[in-house]
Structure formats: C-alpha cells, structure tokens
Amino acid sequence: MEGLKEGINPFHPLWEIKQRIKSLPLKYEKMMPMNIAVKKVELIEWLARIEDKALLEQVDILKKKAMAEAYEARMKPMTSHQYKSLLDQAEEDYKNGRVTSQEDLEKESENW
C-alpha cells in the first residue's frame, strides 16, 4: 500500500482524503475553491460508509478534541476593562427595559 510505504496509517481518518487530494491534477487543485458545504457532504458520505469501529472511534476522538479546543478558546479570561464594559452594557440594557423576566424565560424554555 502506498500509505504504508510513506509511513502513513491508511486507517487514519484523513488518509483517504489526503489520497484523493494527491490524485488531483495540480492545476485543478489550485483552481478548485474550498466549498464548505460540499466538503461537509463528502465527509458525511465517507463517515456513513465506514464499517471499522476503531476508525470511527478515532474520528470521534478527533471530534471531541476539536470541540474541547473550541470551547476553551471561547473561555479566555477577560481583562478588567472588558469585564467593566460588559457590566456597563448590562446596566444599560436594564435601564432601557431590554430584559427578560424569570417567568417569561421559563415560558419560552418550554418550547425548546
């Protein structure tokens, strides 16, 4: 197998994708715009065909790691200036009636 010669695990989740990219003519590859919707569909189709439980577990680990990294990136500490700015905005919202009562929030959450 080509992947084994290169020291790449052919069962790695990205191996098939890398092989497809390598097979594209260089000229076509440069012209091809990155279309996220198309890429998502391709990945969904690829995942749907996977029968190897170990490979699916690797993909799941990759997904969980990406989700954790995205969550942690959003959890950066605020500076005191940013914190004060958020407090000022909250006070402004309260003064201008841009609030939701506990009762309204509970009613709204029943439809979630």
Q: Do 43 and 24 fall within a single domain?
A: yes
Residues 67 and 90 in one domain: no
Gap between the Cα atoms of 42 and 59, Å rounded: 15
Q: What is the pTM for the complete model shown? A: 0.40
For the chain, what is the domain count?
2
Instruction: Give the Cα separation of 50 and 54 in Å (integer).
Output: 10
Answer yes or no: are the C-beta atoms of 13 and 58 closer than 8 Å: yes
Residues 55 and 96 reside in one and the same domain: no
For residue 39, give the nearest of 21, 26, 57 by alpha carbon.
Answer: 21
Are residue 14 and residue 42 in the same domain, yes or no?
Answer: yes
Kindly tell me if the per-residue pLDDT of 50 is higher than 50. yes
Which residues span the domain enclosing 41? Answer: 2-76
Looking at the fold, whether 8 and 23 belong to one and the same domain comes out as yes
Are residues 87 and 63 located together in one domain of the fold?
no
Measured between alpha carbons, how far apart are the two ends of the chain, in Å?
A: 50
23 versus 101: the higher-pLDDT residue is 101
**Claim to verify: residue 66 and residue 92 sit in the same structural domain:** no
Residue among 45, 44, 76 nearest 63 (CA) = 44
The answer on pLDDT for 41 being more than 70 is yes
Asked whether residue 41 falls in the same domain as residue 94, the answer is no
Residues 12 and 46 in one domain: yes
The mean pLDDT value for 36-50 works out to 89
Domain shared by 61 and 108, yes or no: no
